[in-house]
Structure 1
Amino acid sequence: MALRHHPTDCANAALAELIEASQISRNALAQLVNSRAERAGHTCSYTHTSVTNWIVRGMTPKPPVPQFIAQVLADRLGHPVEPADTGMPQGSEDSSQIGLGFPRDTHDAVRTTAQF
């Protein structure tokens, strides 16, 4: 399987390299992550586009999905893979460092902004 983007051109080169090393398609990774999440009682509907967003745009799914990604890749590679190895945070970061949740409704947004 060839990468569409060279790993060094990606926002998440670590994940791109693990996917390339595991020789798994983005679609297959998404399906296996969805299956693992379902077995753990979580509902997910990731697709190959989701995986592309994780790699190219550096997007990170909410916990515990990074753990599921690491587990799927570990199974494929035959050695332990931790979420940190995938270039994804483990969910213990201070939320003040990762951005604000901002209301989409204009009135709520103005009210929230006025609090600052």
Structure 2
Amino acid sequence: VELDHWSVCYLKSIYWAIITMITTGFGDIKPINHEETIVCVVSMYFGVILASISIANLTSLFLSMDRAFTEHQQKMDALNKYMRYRHLPKELSARIVAFYEYQWLQLK
């Protein structure tokens, strides 16, 4: 078996790893012997685990962002109700709302 230049082997291995992780593979690079088959199977399992963890983390991130925004909106609604209850001037109410919006944007 003739080996390719190291850069070609490296490129093919990166290609194979990415295809294995994101799809079921095109089948153009196949294991030939028993050891290569074991490496392929182990790599596929790690790819599935990595993809699952990544999707779970992204889902958690989006849910926490939405939860924080919902909590902020609820607090702002309560603030607006309180300011209306106390009959604060519109200019003062607008400044207070602007302050809390600014604070939320800086800390989120």
Q: TM-score, normalised by structure 1?
A: 0.27
More RCO (CA 8 Å, sep 6+): 1
Q: TM-score scaled to structure 2, two decimals?
A: 0.28
**Going by fraction, where is helix more abundant, 1 or 2?**
2
Structure showing greater radius of gyration is 2
